[in-house]
Structure 1
Amino acid sequence: MSTDLLPPNWPAMSVAQANAALAGPGSPLELEDAVIRGVPMKVYKNAPPNIPVILDLAAEQFPDRTYLVYQNERVTFSALQLAVRKLAAEMRDTYGIKKGDRVAIVMRNYPQWPLGFYAALSLGAIATPMNSWWTAEELEYGLSFAGVKLAIMDLQIYERFRDHLDKLPELKNVLIARDTTEEIADPRVSSLDAIVGHPNDWEDLPDAGPTGVEIGPDDDATIMYTSGTTGKPKGALATHRAVITNMFNSSACQARMFLRKGEPVPAPDPDAMRATLISIPFFHATGSFAILIPSALRGDKVVAMYKWDAGEALPIIEGEKISAVGGVPAIAWQILEHPDRDKYNLSSIQAISYGGAPSAPELVSTIKKRFPEAAPGNGWGMTETCATATLNIGEDYVNRPSSAGAPPAAVELKICDPDGNDMPAGEVGELWCKSAANCRQYWNRPDATAETFRNGWVVTGDLARIDEEGFLYLVDRAKDMLIRGGENVYCIEVESALYDHPAVMDAAVVGIAHKILGEEVGAVVQLKPGKAASEAELRAHVAGQLAAFKVPVEIQFQDEPLPRNANGKILKAELRQRFKARA
């Protein structure tokens, strides 16, 4: 606890009191009772009915404000709306896309990604983003499994995938974004650029008008594939209400920060110019549900890079006056520790938030010291909860740096034993989450659906505990926990001890096969630039905090960042292969 960083007389009210005030009558975040698929839920009374409405409202309220930036390409809200309407009309009239059809978007964070996403949603189709890092075989699986009718991909990905097209009879057409003048012989493949032109010219497109498709809150909106670090990825099917509820849940957590400080929640400022530097893909639930769409709701700018590089990000932060950065903790550290950091004016930063991995308690205090006006934030969520379910922000995060935050009033959390029975506060068990933001099922996987989605609850597979005030503490992924000689070792606990060393920037703990004990503890560490630490020093550091059986028997070092998938999760299966079994 860093009490020296907390304001006097904090907190002004309890979490429960703040949640109740925000959910009460007359509040923009007012809750009401509803029954969704037979389950009683709390829903946001003032939530927009569907996702396309959000873009239309932004184009009406902020027509000339820049929404998307990629290198020298800049797209305003009104320009994107015109391009979305043009593309949607073409998808409907030429390619026969109708409500319920699946439309895949497969590309980097180019402006054409939101274009395809919003165009599909405006027709009532199910937008199906796919991992742009996938191999051709993985793309074939994702397109086939979802029964995709139309795919929108960039030329680089199409060339990777083209030899698999004949294996997908349900995939009727492919639109190539950012194509060249090169002729493509396949009659099923056409140019997206020929329909809408260059992003900088979208503002000159004629208005094709709205699609006229009626879309209800509980109509299906997206299929997001889980990250698939083991086994085949599953397609999590979310409704429009679920995606929008996630955004309102995050807003409720941010508003609670002010009430806990004894301050009124600031009214929305239509003249505020905010900008997010997105360091994660749009095809991740966080990228689209927690950044892309909420930015439209607020009239904010989203700035994308070809790929993340902290050194390249610094001039972008200065030039675009970026107010929010983050992703995973390693990205925050890379900005804070970069040797060129002081060469740039980074005073525009108001929020540094991250999730998806444990973070050192030192990170929040470092943020507050170097960016005193910025609100640090950490949270928990998953694809199945449509991104953020809890958010720990501001003083609550300073006070509880190892917590993922307390849920807003519209989210219920509980800790269960292996039989699904509730466990008391402070006990470690499996985390369950209930919210209107939850996905409704896995696409074409009734077995996995029955296992994970139970009467409105998502059975997360995360081991966690919840304290008396409702703050969530993640302990480990149930599948990542290792067992040494019959003793459970929670990887996050050991990783947190490593992060606590001032030289450690990133760390991952994995099991090393052992003939007698079953597993022993291994770790891979990346040190901060200019810092040094030996294996013996780190082992002694961990031994000063944890029991001897939790101390890594082997620590490997590497200079480059730890391997992660596109969703920011460390590829532990890859790291395990570095360690030899022990006798």
Structure 2
Amino acid sequence: MNISWITDAVAGQVPSVSPDSPALALGTGDPLSYAELRERELLLATALRRDGVRPGDRVALLLRNCTDYVALYLALGRIGAISVRLNWRLTAAELSYQLRDSAAGTVIFDAEFGERLAGIRREVPARTYVARTGSDAAAPEWAVPLEEFAGSAADGEFPEIGPDQPLTLMYTSGTTGRPKGALLSHGNAVWIGTVQALNWKFDHTTVALTQGPLFHAGGFEVLLLPALLRHGTAVTFPSGGFTLEAMLEAARRHSATAMLVYSFMLAEFGGIEGLETLVPPSLQRIVTGGDTIMPWVYDVFEKRLPGVNLTQSYSLTEGGAVALHLDHTVARGRETSVGVPQPMTQVRIADPLGTEVPTGEVGEIHLRSPGVSIGYWNRPEETAETFAGGWCRTGDLGRVDADGFVTLAGRAKDMIRTGGENVYPAEVEKILTGHPGVHDAALIGVPDAKLAEVGCAVVVAEPGAAPGEAQLRRYLAERLAKYKIPRYFVFARELPRTASGKVLKYLMKETYANLGERPGAPAGGEDPA
């Protein structure tokens, strides 16, 4: 089975869903029916094949959340091409790297990103650029409008696609500073959606709403994909201008039964005035992830939304989107846990040599399931290292307690989780130390009331140089996405190190833990969509 089953079931001899059933909506807008989604998918698939896109080709999507994003994802899957889901927050330099690394032959983008792409067109081996003309920005003259490109008829002649064929490629930052493209196959995607639907009892009445960007697994593979596979309704929130109140309005408009609310939003969400009347009576489950849920958060939700199950989830793009879950009904007394494995998911804790350690001991969390990525794009050595023996090495430290619940013990990969985004210090440090006035630098995560954690750059200047904070911000802004730029910059004579030269980041975290409490501390963070 491949991902095309979602809409093919509408046209089957024994349809599992009415063609008129609502399939996909954007915010509070009217939903597309399954028949309309299928028609759009087939038109786009036909046009892409006519333009020369073939199985295995990479097609980059640089789009804000929209219904066409899902239609294009399905269309590319139908013809066996691989969708490269680009983060539209990235700078031109970052996009250039990912486009060159994936060797994308076609780029489909929102017109507003035309100026960013214009400067890198010569560097990127893309055959065709196609602009979506839904924003206020005019399509660049060198791009073909999507409506003109799509045509008006589908030929219905498409190749047979097997479950092992690659479907989508999502870039994840790495400890080396270079993002890696994690590949998910058709089989991976079908399993990721099916296991959530099985575990959370989704059916055709499910209405799942997320506000995350569709280029993230958390924005599409979590909740939306299982809703579509069960022929319920998927609601994605428009990018930009996000507020929790607006999300609740969309939830009421579509009678949402499940919602994704990032962990850093839970405190604000639980404190909304009149929350009890703003949440639709249909809501059964709120899924969250990224950080463990504090006990007081459960107190708030049990008091204000007693009929809603607050579910913690844990995984990573390579590990199958949702590998572990902590259900509200068993969370009391286990608030520091990230839960138990999803159905058909195995978890083990291993030492650095890959040997499983006894129950209760700390080691690296390894995952194995049919949802684990088939590997990194053109990275055989890193693929072999991360996916050894069918297990996905997460880079996170944890333990399995006697009752089978998994508890995190730290991040082996030194990752900073800020506002729903992963920031890897190695990537930022590599660029920061490229500044002529910077001798040494380290990036640490420090607490933040809104985003849970933000970056703090500890900088050692070159002798005789004095780069200011504003200068370093401008330098990074030309090379990194906004969310990766540190919230704070502090200057030091040297970085604390061990005798072997390893930076003692835990000491710096202790030193600068209270930066957010200083007067005039800068505000930051972007909406998650």
Q: Note whether the superposition's TM-score is higher than 0.5.
A: yes
Aligned to 1:57: 9
Residues 1:63 and 1:131: Cα distance change in structure 2 (over 3 Å): same
After superposition, the Cα gap between the structure-2 partners of 1:392 and 1:368, relative to the gap in structure 1 and judged at 3 Å, is same
C-alpha offsets along residues 247-270 of structure 1, whole Å, 9 cap, x if unaligned? Answer: 233234436xxxxxxxxxxxx654
Partner of 1:471: 405
Pick the aligned partner of 1:233 from 162, 165, 179: 179
Q: Is the 8 A contact 2:209 2:235 kept in 1?
A: yes
2:339 is matched with which residue? Answer: 405
Distance 1:111 1:560 in 2: 35
Matching residue of 1:284: 216
CA deviation after TM superposition for structure 1 residue 320, in Å: 2.6
Rounded Cα–Cα distance in structure 2 between residues aligned with 1:464 and 1:51: 34
CA, structure 1 residues 375+149, in 2 after alignment: closer, same or farther (shift >3 Å)?
same
Percent identity, aligned pairs only?
A: 29
Which residue in the other structure is 1:334 paired with? 268
Q: Can you list the C-alpha shifts for 1:292-347, whole angstroms capped at 9, x where unaligned?
A: 32121122231412333113223222233222222421223322212353563533
Distance in 1 of aligned mates of 2:454 and 2:26: 36
Residue 395 of structure 1 and its aligned partner are, at CA, apart by 1.1
Post-superposition offset of 1:519: 4.3
Give per-residue Cα distances to partners, 1:215-262, cap 9 Å, x unaligned: 11111111111145871210011211112222233234436xxxxxxx
Determine helix, strand or coil for the equivalent of 1:388.
coil
Q: Does 1:424 align with 2:378?
A: no
Provide the secondary structure at the position in 2 that maps to 1:237: strand
- Equivalent residue number for residue 76 of structure 1: 33
Distance 1:83 1:519 in 2: 51
Equivalent position of 1:166 in the other structure: 122
Deviates more, 1:127-136 or 1:362-371: 362-371
> CA 1:457–1:192 in structure 2 vs 1: closer, same or farther (change >3 Å)?
same
1:193 matched to 2:147? The reply is yes
Contact 1:391 1:404 in 2 (8 A): yes
Rounded Cα–Cα distance in structure 1 between residues aligned with 2:528 and 2:179: 13
Find the aligned partners of 1:472 and 1:107 in 2 and give their Cα distance. Answer: 36
- Contact kept, 8 Å, 1:278 with 1:304, in 2: the verdict is yes
Given that 1:278 and 1:305 are in contact with CA atoms closer than 8 Å, whether structure 2 keeps it comes out as no
1:155 aligned partner, one-letter code: A
Structure 1, residues 131-164: CA drift from partner, whole Å, max 9, x if none? 1111111111111111111111111122221221
1:436 to 370, 373, 378: 370
Aligned residues: 450
Q: Does 1:154 align with 2:113?
A: no
Alignment of 1:307-386 (within 5 A): 307=240, 308-339=242-273, 341=275, 344-386=278-320
| 1:63 shift after superposition | 1.6
Contact 1:253 1:407 in 2 (8 A): no
SS at match of 1:404: strand
Please state how far the C-alpha of 1:475 moved relative to its aligned partner.
Answer: 1.8
Verify the 8 A CA contact 1:70 1:111 in the aligned structure 2: yes
2:462 equivalent to 1:507:
no
**Cα pair 1:462 1:474 within 8 Å, conserved:** yes
Partner residue of 1:556 out of 497, 516, 521: 516
Q: CA deviation at 1:476?
A: 1.7
Q: Indicate conservation of the 8 Å contact 2:24/2:233, yes or no.
A: no
Given candidates 191, 216, 228, the residue that maps to 2:162 is: 216
- Give a deviation string over 1:415-452, Cα, whole Å, max 9, x none: 11122221111111111111121111110112211221
Q: Distance in 1 between matches of 2:198 and 2:388?
A: 25
The corresponding residue for 1:259 is none
* 1:514 CA drift (Å): 6.1
Aligned twin of 1:123:
79
CA positional deviation for 1:124: 0.7
Give the letter for the 2:93 counterpart.
E
Q: Structure 1 residues 65 and 560 mapped into 2: Cα distance closer, same or farther (>3 Å)?
A: farther
The separation in 1 between residues aligned to 2:140 and 2:495, in whole angstroms, is 54
SS of residue matched to 1:425: coil
Q: Is the 8 A contact 2:276 2:305 kept in 1?
A: no
Q: Secondary structure at the match of 2:220?
A: helix
Equivalent residue letter for 1:414: R
Q: Which residue of 1 aligns with 2:130?
A: 175
* Secondary structure at 1:406 match in 2: strand
Distance 2:522 2:210 in 1: 21
Q: Which moved more, 1:245-254 or 1:170-179?
A: 245-254
TM-score under structure 1 normalisation?
0.70
Q: Which moved more, 1:241-250 or 1:55-64?
A: 55-64
Determine if the alignment matches structure 1 residue 293 to structure 2 residue 250: no
SS of structure 2 residue aligned to 1:455: helix
Pairwise CA RMSD of aligned residues? 3.1
Offset at residue 521 of structure 1 (A): 5.3
- Going from structure 1 to structure 2, the CA distance change for 1:515 and 1:140 (only over 3 Å counts) comes to closer
**Is the CA contact 1:241–1:436 (under 8 Å) kept in the aligned structure 2?**
yes
Change (3 A) 1:237 1:64: same
The 1:183–1:217 alpha-carbon spacing in structure 2 relative to 1, beyond 3 Å, is: closer
Query: Relative to structure 1, is the Cα distance of residues 303 and 509 closer, same or farther in structure 2, using a 3 angstrom cutoff?
Result: closer
CA distance, structure 2, for counterparts of residue 396 and residue 309 of structure 1: 30
C-alpha distance in structure 2 between counterparts of 1:468 and 1:165, whole Å: 56
Give the counterpart letter for 2:148 in structure 1.
A
| Structure 2 residue matching 1:285: 3-state secondary structure | coil
Which residue in 1 is equivalent to 2:426? none
- Structure 1 unaligned regions, length at least 5: 1-48, 198-204, 256-267, 483-497, 524-549, 568-583
d(CA) in 2 for partners of 1:97 and 1:225? 21
Q: CA deviation at 1:409?
A: 4.5
Hey, what does 1:200 align to over in structure 2? none
